[in-house]
Structure 1
């Protein structure tokens, strides 16, 4: 994190590297891409099973270039970084969801906005019809499911498989099978850069060690974030109406409904931190990072991250929401 100078990027859009459109920074001489165009990116990632999203904007593409990228299920791969560090690192790979081109600046510029989704095709199109013999391990099923979805698989070290003594059969969308398998292991799944990532609920990935401090990319002061209870005024009013409607019910049924209401309104508040850093393309949701500042110091799990920047933009940053975790030092 000490060599964050000389920004570089590489953006590939197309069905393949041979037929796609390549945009690169000026100093990537090894790439035969288009240089000098204005490009911005805004990427949102988190640990949920909803696909990660990004918006990439490019100005003043030629008609020939527009014809190349205005295709259904276009693949987009963006790599960014610093010349004096690791160079361009893949920060997002996904599929075109929406492409809009419009005139700006009184007709002087043409802006193309590309909305992309990570893992959209795998989630949308993967359907399973499979069965496994008695004694199969859930990790074996995970590997087969990831392969069926066309995804690499990354399983955290503390995820332990469970044995299906009667075997396992499933017919339907692969994402539903992932729900079943991960629930049995106490784990969660998400797709990160076209990779199926499986971590324990409240757990972390295999990757840890990046330190953010004022001398290594941390910008400003970390913000303390407390998420309040999800219970709204509408929920409270709904509970009062439920009590009124229970008139005439048996004591047993009333007791059952009371327990259900208590479960619904269980506190879900959680303390965490929000930090802003120089662009950190290697950090992904679920990773463990270390924060060192005057206000807070320790290990934290990345819950979500937003990357933003561009070729002519002043800022080139990441915004990270994280919660504290206990790691062996």
Structure 2
């Protein structure tokens, strides 16, 4: 990561090759991106746009892309489709337009599969069928982990929603799928994206201290477009603030995730969600920025990169590498 000063950003709205760039106005944005099939979300507020700009966005433009970073080092943090445009007044002086957009919601909700696979096909063959259906809605293939070489002894009819086929494959192979900026990614629960680890400490932009929670370890840093769901993070274990147990009567099950053990037992069991080697996998990434204010951060919820787990993951059917 280079020097993190001299903020830079760009917002563009497009349709049919025609583009609109309101980056000279004040923008406040918040994105939410998960490693699940749930479409990524953008809330974008533009202050004091002209009536012409508001009407153009509402009537003409269908896609929005936000890039952010520092100086010449910027990258895309969101790309998706506009689903609502509304305008209003913040006070007696300032007006705003609010754009709500989602990433690849239409492919997820409308892509269908209808194909027969012969005996001897693999899980990857089923993924390829779903990927082809998504491609018709503009989704390309990103990173797909090795799903094993198991060959099915019978033929298989792929019929129905592409998202259901992907869900079935992921449940069977211990993986999760998501679409990030128009690319389909499938990661095994104990794997991360192959882009290398992003080191987070006070020298690289980490803000405050990471905190252990039931959802995972929460860490905040200066806005970093390189961090996305599935990214590998490196965080010093000693900087993570341990969660406090609850004295509530009904909190017994919750407290088992934070019970007092020797450091080695806690690290090996995964109960505390603290990685001995300092490597974590990003599950939830939120980019928040204000082009004329102090807000310019990325907040991440992460777990151990080699198969960590938490109650939030267990509710999704994801356990640790040993199946606990």
Q: TM-score, normalised by structure 2?
A: 0.76
The runs of 4+ residues in structure 1 deviating greater than 4 Å are none
Contact 1:14 1:69 in 2 (8 A): no
Corresponding position of 2:186: 198
Counterpart of 1:135 in structure 2 is: 120
Q: Within 5 Å, which residues of 2 pair with 1:11-30?
A: 11-16=11-16, 18-24=17-23
Note if 1:100 corresponds to 2:86: yes
Deviation at 1:289, TM superposition (A): 0.6
Shift of 1:226: 3.1
User: How far apart are the structure 2 equivalents of 1:142 and 1:161?
Assistant: 13
Matches within 5 A, 1:1-329: 1-16=1-16, 18-24=17-23, 35=24, 37-71=25-59, 74-83=62-71, 87-106=73-92, 108-150=93-135, 151-227=139-215, 272-292=216-236, 294-296=238-240, 298-326=278-306
The number of aligned residues is: 268
Aligned-residue offset at 1:321 = 1.0
Q: Which moved more, 1:95-104 or 1:277-286?
A: 95-104
Question: Which secondary structure state, in structure 1, belongs to the residue aligned with residue 38 of structure 2?
Answer: coil
Distance in 2, matches of 1:68 and 1:117, equals 19
Paired residues of 1:14 and 1:68 also in contact (CA < 8 A): no
Any idea what SS the aligned residue of 2:214 has?
strand
Gap runs ≥5 in structure 1: 25-34, 228-271
What residue ranges of structure 2 are gaps of 5+ in the alignment?
A: 241-276, 308-324
- CA drift of 1:152 comes to 1.7
Q: Deviations over 1:48-102 (max 9, x none)?
A: 2111111011122223222221148811111111115xx2201011111221111
- RMSD over aligned Cα atoms: 2.1
Superposition TM-score, scaled by structure 1 size: 0.75
Tell me if structure 2 keeps the 8 A contact 1:57–1:113.
yes
Compared CA separation, residues 115 and 316, structure 1 to 2 (3 A): same
Task: Report the Cα distance in structure 1 between the residues aligned to 2:59 and 2:155, rounded to whole angstroms.
Answer: 42
Contact 1:128 1:172 in 2 (8 A): yes
Q: Are the aligned partners of 1:20 and 1:69 in contact in 2 as well (CA < 8 Å)?
A: no
